[in-house]
């Protein structure tokens, strides 16, 4: 787990998200896991979206349920 000290918050930091993507067997983390429960809409808006390593831009970015990188600075755009 990242050791960098930070202010206590209910959101996952970018560093924590990247760590989870690298260490999980699936190499992805669902977006709903990164935000506090009270901000989840309990609907389809959060389902299917995940953070994973993007082969086009070489970073950990958010992807839709089809596997498309959603970062507009990505080379895939």
Q: Alpha-carbon distance 64 to 49, whole Å?
A: 5
- pTM as predicted: 0.71
Q: Tell me the percentage of the chain whose pLDDT exceeds 90.
A: 38
Which pLDDT does position 6 carry in this prediction? 47
Cβ contact 29:51 at 8 Å: yes
The average confidence (pLDDT) of the chain is 81
Average pLDDT of span 53-59? 91
Position 39 confidence tier, pLDDT thresholds 50, 70, 90: confident
Domain residue spans in the chain?
14-63
């Amino acid at each position: 787990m990242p050791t960098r000290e930070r202010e206590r918050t209910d959101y996952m930091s970018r560093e924590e998200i990247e760590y989870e993507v690298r260490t999980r067997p699936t190499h992805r983390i669902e977006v709903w896991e990164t935000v506090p429960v009270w901000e989840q809409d309990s609907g389809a808006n959060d389902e299917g979206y995940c953070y994973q390593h993007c082969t086009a831009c070489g970073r950990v970015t958010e992807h839709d349920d089809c596997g498309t990188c959603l970062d507009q600075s990505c080379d895939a755009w």
